[in-house]
Amino acid sequence: MTAADFKPEFDPTPGVTGPIQGGLPTFTPINPLYCATPQCAADLVAVLSDLKPAIEFRGPLGTWPGGPFAQTKKVPWLIFQGDNGPVPINAGVLASIFTHGYPPTLAELMLRQSIAQTIQDGQAG
């Protein structure tokens, strides 16, 4: 799989549920750009095979403090190894780089720069 072959796909169904109001539970959709499909994540792993990312399923918005609200579905995150341990990045956020109409080689360059910066930021402190 190359960047030229990569086609981002997103799942529009995840959301956040909340307490019952007026007899019905509340539901707020989550932006699909945070919700890559499993196949999309697998394709990203193939494009980034030299970085050896792993896939892990988590809530689209990352860790959640609990309480009366809950994320309705887990989505793929790519886990990269930094010097101080694993650095998770939402696969949908990474895939969304390919939705802006950039040439595939530029989109891949931007993808890799974003990953490198996030790993660097995750290792700070």
Instruction: Quick: pLDDT tens for 30-87.
Output: 999 999 999 999 999 999 999 999 999 999 988 777 778 889 999 999 999 998 899 9
DSSP 8-state code for residue 13: -
The H-or-E segment that residue 58 falls in is: strand 54-58
- The amino acid that residue 81 corresponds to is Q
- The amino acid that residue 39 corresponds to is Q
Whether 94 and 115 have beta carbons less than 8 Å apart is answered as yes
Domain boundaries, the chain: 15-123
